[in-house]
Copies of this chain bind each other. A is one copy, B any other.
Amino acid sequence: MKAARLHNYGEPLQLDEVDLPKPKGDSVVIRVGAAGICHSDIHFMHGEWQKTIPVKLPVTIGHETAGYVEEVGESVRGLAKGDVVAVFGGWGCGVCQFCKGGDEQLCNSPIWPGLSQSDGGYAEYMYIPSYRFLVKAPGLDPKYVAPLTDAGLTPYRAVKRIRHMLNPNSFTLLFGVGGLGSYAIQYLKLLSPTNVITVERSENKIKLAKDMGSDYVINSKNEDVVSSINKITGNHGVDVVLDIVASKDTLDVGIACLKKRGTLVLIGLMGNSFNMPIVESIINEYSVIGSLWGNYNELTEVISLARANKLKTIINPFKLNDVGKAIESLEAGKIQGRAILIP
């Protein structure tokens, strides 16, 4: 079968013909329906993480995959050939405190296919070591499922972690309306009556934020964000900041917009560090929390929303053969919604 593999960091992927193991025991082979292209893939391919996550190349890229069950091992239960499935990408050890607590994506020694020593979804087929990493998505088209496994899942977990704060008189400030942000707005409105304020710079994204349901949009090109927030909230500030950019700049502004007892959620990975003010954080009991990806049950909940037709997903499809062009487009900032590869 064909697979887009990385042979050397910094070089383009090669479309190789490779063999796939036959599934035994718990394992499954799926026919890839679609594989999302994520900025993380680009960081990985450029070798930015080679020290943190040493990998013996070549490896097939792709951690956002959905498709059809092709063949199952003899111990697999509940899956049949042709079933539409999403691949949950946090392949945990299954025995550490985090796996046993339901957060396999936080495993002490995780495998993330396509981002570590395990082949991902930029391929015609993909080998899944256990059916326990698959979520059924009956009735859905894999093209609209693949983006849910990361772009759709990450903001969902973030929103759930602060959902108890999202009361009718609350305000939530969101930085960034790209692949993740458009889901974040939708989840905020689906899971709560909070008032959503989005910060963006481009006209396209400002329109997108409004279409997704943002109650207010601040154009940070023309407006001072802190002043606008004070105006909107009657000088109280916002209960929650979801920072999907998480650059030093957005974080400084985000902290300055928080209400007493407010929480800032770090989601994006743009910056290195930011200055958390000590006295203000104590006097106002601020919280700053990091949120990583999502867990298996959270993915099933996201897929429930999609199956109930409550979630809008914007895709930008490329053929697997055009993987190079797809990556170039993403790097050039030319992608609206999520770029996906279709074998």
Contact = CB atoms under 8 A, between A and B. Distances in A.
Interface in A85-102: 93-95, 97-98, 100-102
Given A102-B101, A131-B95, A193 B275 contact: no
A126 interface: no
B285 A291 contact: yes
Given A279-B269, A288-B288, A290-B285, A193 B191 contact: yes
What secondary structure prevails in chain A residues at the interface with B? mixed
A98 B261 contact: yes
B287 A167 contact: no
Copies of this chain present: 4
A267 interface: yes
A296 interface: yes
A272 interface: yes
A276 B278 contact: no
A210 B78 CA distance: 35
Contact of A296 (B100, B267, B286): B100
Contact of A308 (B95, B101, B131, B168): B168
B288 A281 contact: yes
Interface stretch (A113-121, A173-181, A299-307): A299-307
B193 A193 contact: no
A29 interface: no
A87 to B, nearest CB: 14
Given A297-B101, A300-B97, A283 B276 contact: no
A278 B164 CA distance: 24
B97 A100 contact: no
Given A290-B285, A292-B282, A78 B95 contact: yes
A190 interface: yes
A169 interface: yes
A93 B277 CA distance: 27
Contact of A100 (B281, B290, B295): B295
Contacts of A94: 94, 132
A97 B236 CA distance: 11
A310 interface: yes
A17 to B, nearest CB: 29
